[in-house]
């Protein structure tokens, strides 16, 4: 399974859990923090991305970090699932897909506007014509 397909499946499953619990923004924020933490630490990237590192060692590192970061149980469980399925190193991709899935489910549409003339500040703030 491609990493994009996996990221979409994991993000959809997580959205199924967080939306009814109204935790979508909190979990999304915590996962972004984890993504940044992993991106800033080459040792974590190596540990979680290297298949030769034993699962038990990875699990111990993950549990220590979960305890230190004091994330929501939903976030902690999701990180454990990613680790168990050897997808924790793909957290950045999962986060990107999660943002898309949450936007889709809440009806948010992204758009890029190109204008021949400068757009009035009031229009930029409200999104309405002045």
Question: Which pTM was predicted?
Answer: 0.79
* Burial of residue 32, with CB atoms counted within 10 A of its CB: 0-12 exposed, 13-18 middle, 19 or more buried: middle
CB 101 within 8 A of CB 19: no
Q: How far does CA 16 lie from the centroid of its chain?
A: 14
Number of domains in the chain: 1
Tokens of 67: 């305890």
pLDDT value at residue 5:
84
CATH of the domain at 108: 1.10.520.20
Tokens of 31: 């996962």
Whole-number Å distance between alpha carbons of 62 and 89: 12
* Burial of residue 11, with CB atoms counted within 10 A of its CB: 0-12 exposed, 13-18 middle, 19 or more buried: buried
Range of the domain at 36: 3-126
Q: Per-residue confidence of the chain (130 residues) as pLDDT tens digits?
A: 677 888 889 999 999 999 999 998 999 999 999 999 989 998 888 888 888 989 999 999 999 999 999 999 999 999 999 999 999 888 999 999 999 998 888 877 777 778 888 888 887 776 555 4
């Amino acid at each position: 399974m491609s990493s994009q397909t996996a990221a979409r499946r994991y993000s959809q499953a997580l959205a199924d859990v967080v939306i009814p619990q109204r935790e979508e923004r909190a979990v999304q924020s915590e996962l972004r923090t984890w993504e940044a933490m992993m991106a800033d630490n080459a040792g974590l990237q190596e540990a979680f991305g290297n298949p030769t590192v034993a699962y038990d060692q990875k699990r111990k590192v993950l549990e220590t970090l979960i305890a230190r970061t004091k994330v929501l149980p939903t976030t902690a469980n999701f990180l454990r699932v990613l680790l168990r399925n050897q997808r924790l190193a793909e957290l950045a991709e999962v986060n990107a897909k999660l943002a898309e899935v949450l936007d889709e489910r809440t009806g948010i549409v992204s758009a890029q506007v190109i204008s021949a003339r400068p757009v009035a500040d009031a229009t930029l703030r409200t999104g309405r014509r002045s």
